[in-house]
Amino acid sequence: MKEKYLKYRKEVHAAALWLSEHGYFGSLRGSGGNVSVRIDSENSMAITPSGVRYTDMTDGDIFVVGFDLELLEGRQGLKASMESEMHSAIYRKRPEVKAVVHTHQTYGSVFSVINMPIPALFDEVALSLGTLIEVAPYAFSGTSELARNVEAVLSGGANACIIQNHGIVALGASLDQAVLNAELLEKTAKIYHLALSSGKRLTTLPAEAIDIIEMIRKPADAQ
């Protein structure tokens, strides 16, 4: 194992464990969901393995995979995450993204099965995630089609999306920020679900607030 990859392995393992312990993968005993971080100055990522329970996982189980899906480092007998192609497609499309988190979190998954995007409800959340959390169309887990569907929805610059009948994806300029964005999405989805269930009329952010947020979120070179 190369020394240079060690910090990335530790970081991915710690974030995956935190998400698992906080119920973001939907089952405490399962191995669903996956976490990755971009390796600096390389076209590669450190990513969780496939089929390993988070409670049993070690730093040494984390894989290093090229964006062309070439295996650079990994434990014999294990495989890298089945969603590696989805992660690499996002890194290729969004050079500023440094980490990707894919979860099966409960409230985000509610909107994945009612196939409904989440509008901008809170300015602080919209600043982090974008002014619309869209739903990427369903494709079977682990397929190139799913990778393409998610990549297409996230190409607009949002830092999160829902995957139809599956779960969510959150991105960030650091792994800590990607995890925070998954948390912000779960908070928003929970509140939106409760608000819709109340039967009362709900309000979204006014158009002026959306304009301000979109201006702030625009990359500097596009302004």
- Catalytically active residues are 83
Which CB, 31 or 131, lies closer to Zn ion? 31
Nearer to Zn ion, 80 or 121 (CB): 80
User: Judged by CB, which is closer to Zn ion: 74, or 167?
Assistant: 167
CB of 168 to Zn ion, least distance (A): 9
Size of the site for Zn ion (CB under 5 A): 1
Q: Which of residues 28-67 bind Zn ion (CB under 5 A)?
A: none
Q: Any idea which residue has 């990607």 for tokens?
A: 178
Cα distance between residue 151 and residue 14, in whole Å? 26
In angstroms, give the least distance from the CB of 152 to Zn ion.
18
Q: Given the complex with Zn ion, which of 121 and 135 has the nearer CB atom?
A: 135
Stretch that binds Zn ion, among 58-66, 160-168, 169-177, 215-223 (CB under 5 A): 160-168
Distance of CA 149 to the CA centre of its chain: 14
- Cα–Cα distance for residue pair 113/126, rounded to 1 Å: 22
Output the smallest distance, CB 86 to Zn ion, in A. Answer: 9
Q: Minimum distance from CB of 84 to Zn ion (Å)?
A: 12
Applying CB under 5 A, which part among 64-72, 162-170, 189-197, 199-207 lies near Zn ion?
A: 162-170
List residues near Zn ion by CB under 5 A.
167
